[in-house]
Chain A
């Protein structure tokens, strides 16, 4: 994440105390932040982001690369101190004209405004965004304003503060995304932006709420039954050229929906027609389920997910192969596919069978509606919306049913099974795109015994989310380097640093490959404070080195205190004394990387134990030898007999030689 400047002193500090903001501007609020006027910049407004809602990082980064368009410009971003904690403040251009929704209320907007101002402006903004690789996912009448009172220039509000689609009423979402949790609608595709544009144009023409009090499920049913165009126009065809535009933009099939090129042609006056809607979702034969009869796969999926007990009973009663041949002949007919649906076991031997009703229904619904959301208990989310949905669910506090269901979803092999099913079904998304959303998850949470797996998933899927650990309180911790600095500050203030926090280890593992590798070595990190401290030292040491963070004597002292008891437990006294002397020197330097390298505790302890065992072996050997040496030596023992005989022989030889010499001489 780009590091905005932190205003901590000077004129900005006074502003920073109240966030540098003036009065509230609720019209510019989003699901991710509150808008305020800027006292000293009437042409700008400030958006104070919610700490617990992840920033759409890619969209925020794309803003820097965008050429000028109808999108409001991002002037600056900085972190400001607030009573509830440091928060990100984005300063954006402020349109002073009225909101298009307010202008259109009751009577609708004139044709010329829509044709000559709204559509070209939004089309240009979308094209720029899509070229930068991001989607807007927040196009609706309340996010469109006139630049000023002259009403000649339309501005589109920013799209990075809220989860994608999180601010959208369900009616602005295409069929496959409209019944999900608001935060779980997902990044989507450019086609989803053009759909939202189509609904926006229709809403501004009609000047009324197109939902008309209907629930998302009712709206979905209407769109499935009649198509979005007819469901939203109320069956009345609109006259004029806008009709063609709307038919093109409101195509339910994304491949047939108008995109940037078609829109540009239409704006240029070319004679474009909307394609006849394709029918890819009908059953070959109607399915009787419950009290109803279903001709559309998506509708049946929705009905099944509403009551998993009844749905599972229905599914288990069917002969799946026969059912598919009757109703869904385009589905695969291999035994592997059937096993995947019924038991969640694919070709991989390591797959664990998941036979609970919720899992079975989730798989069956994925088969019926491969373009639609994951439907697992309370967790109805698009695969590309898992991250924001998880962040939102965890924000609701412990015990949130959605959070528990999402955790089960993430930690179980169900996601892999769903990916397999979706990729095998015609019309399903390519495996690559589904898997790319889960690629980070698979790497980080492969060891499901890790007790921070959910947190790893949270931060891996939400790169714009700051560390939510209570340890850092009100600090802004957006990167591992920030975490290291915050930890140093806490250690210097003699705060109780407890790294056994799933948010800390999850944040580090998700944002640092080195950290992820270190934590993989430690399956039960939270159960062993000493081992976790050792790993944290290694992680922070690497961060200190990679990010050139400078000496960290306070953290050095903290880790030194934790290392000392373990070093004092070493059995070798020389190793102990040497280690204690070296530790003090390293603490004074504040070099965590050096400390981690010199005091690799597991390695030191292994060496110590190995030395101890060797010494013990030597002592045992010595004791045995001493027993033998201290035994009484008798002349009748073999060795004295042997050596005595040799000695005597040697002496006899000398005597004989002397006798020979002297006897010969005489």
Chain B
């Protein structure tokens, strides 16, 4: 990794760490309430279904803390929405077109789909760091291997002294005449 990239990465971690210390901003909630009220005013049934169906995301967003909380909340919301969308489309264009919220919400399977999707999102949030850790560790191992090769070539070129007393040159380099004392 280039030095510039490392610096950028470190900066991002710092910024995210700082941001993570604070609770989510109030303005987002205000926006949500405004849009909810507007929706309830114009599309009451649709809005009710969305609000109820996206409840896990709202809770997840309210409780999210730590590094990457925004993205985690997004992940949960995206999966949740993926579960809600079929019923929204149904109410708009499908078999339940014009149906009331009570009709949709009385279907237990609808609850299952919407909340299972949210659960899937939560699972992705839970497993993603472990997967990232695995890939990062793999990348580190590759980098370490390359760096060790470079280090050895420097020792072969300049002698063990360049790396300290316990460094050893490779057998090929050791066979070449060493510098005179």
Contact = CB atoms under 8 A, between A and B. Distances in A.
Interface of A: 565, 568-574, 576-577, 611-612, 615-616, 618-619, 622-623, 625-626, 629-630, 632-649, 651-653, 655-656, 658-660, 663-664, 666
Contact of A622 (B69, B85, B151): B151
A573 B173 contact: yes
Contact of B161 (A571, A633, A636): A571
A569 B82 contact: no
Given A568-B177, A647-B128, A652-B124, A619 B151 contact: yes
B97 interface: no
A10 B141 CA distance: 85
A634 B157 CA distance: 37
Given A622-B150, A630-B140, 20 more contacts: A568-B177, A568-B180, A570-B179, A571-B161, A571-B179, A612-B158, A615-B158, A622-B151, A626-B148, A634-B133, A638-B13, A638-B67, A641-B129, A644-B68, A644-B131, A649-B78, A651-B128, A652-B78, A658-B82, A666-B94
B179 A568 contact: yes
Contacts of A637: 133
Interface in B115-159: 121, 124-125, 128-133, 135-137, 140-141, 143-144, 147-148, 150-151, 154-159
28 contacts: A568-B177, A571-B158, A573-B156, A573-B176, A574-B157, A576-B177, A577-B176, A619-B151, A619-B154, A626-B144, A629-B141, A629-B143, A638-B67, A639-B132, A639-B136, A641-B129, A642-B67, A644-B133, A645-B71, A646-B68, A648-B75, A648-B124, A651-B75, A651-B128, A652-B75, A652-B76, A663-B89, A666-B94
Contacts of A569: 179-181
Residue of A568, A648, A653, A663 with most chain B CB atoms under a 10 A cut-off: A648
B129 A646 contact: no
Contacts of A577: 176
B124 A643 contact: no
Contacts of B68: 641-642, 644-646
Contact of A635 (B133, B162, B180): B133
A648 B74 CA distance: 9
A633 B78 contact: no
B82 A633 contact: no
Nearest to A660: B85
A656 B82 contact: yes
B12 interface: yes
A644 B17 contact: no
A462 to B, nearest CB: 43
A655 B79 contact: yes
B16 interface: yes
B129 A619 contact: no
B72 A645 contact: yes
Contacts of A655: 78-79, 82
Interface residues of B, number: 60
A645 B158 contact: no
A570 to B, nearest CB: 6
Contacts of B131: 644, 647
B25 to A, nearest CB: 18
B136 A633 contact: yes
B180 A626 contact: no
Residue of A626, A629, A651 with most chain B CB atoms under a 10 A cut-off: A629
B interface secondary structure, majority: helix
A633 B137 contact: yes
B63 interface: no
Nearest to A618: B154
Contacts of A612: 158, 162
Contacts of B159: 571, 573
B98 interface: no
A664 B155 CA distance: 64
Nearest to A637: B133
B9 interface: yes
Contact of A645 (B17, B67, B94, B130): B67
Contacts of A626: 144, 147-148, 151
A566 to B, nearest CB: 9
A296 B52 CA distance: 132
Residue of A565, A636, A640, A664 with most chain B CB atoms under a 10 A cut-off: A640
Given A629-B143, A642-B68, A649-B75, A576 B179 contact: yes
A651 B124 contact: yes
Given A630-B140, A663-B89, A616 B162 contact: yes
Nearest to B161: A571
Nearest to B136: A633
A637 B156 CA distance: 36
Interface pairs A-B: 5 shortest CB-CB: A645-B68, A644-B128, A652-B78, A644-B129, A659-B82
A660 B88 CA distance: 10
B133 A633 contact: yes
Contacts of B157: 572-574, 615
A413 B66 CA distance: 81
B81 A639 contact: no
A642 B16 contact: yes
B3 to A, nearest CB: 11
B140 A629 contact: yes
B163 interface: yes
Nearest to A643: B132
Interface in B4-44: 9, 12-13, 16-17
Nearest to B140: A629
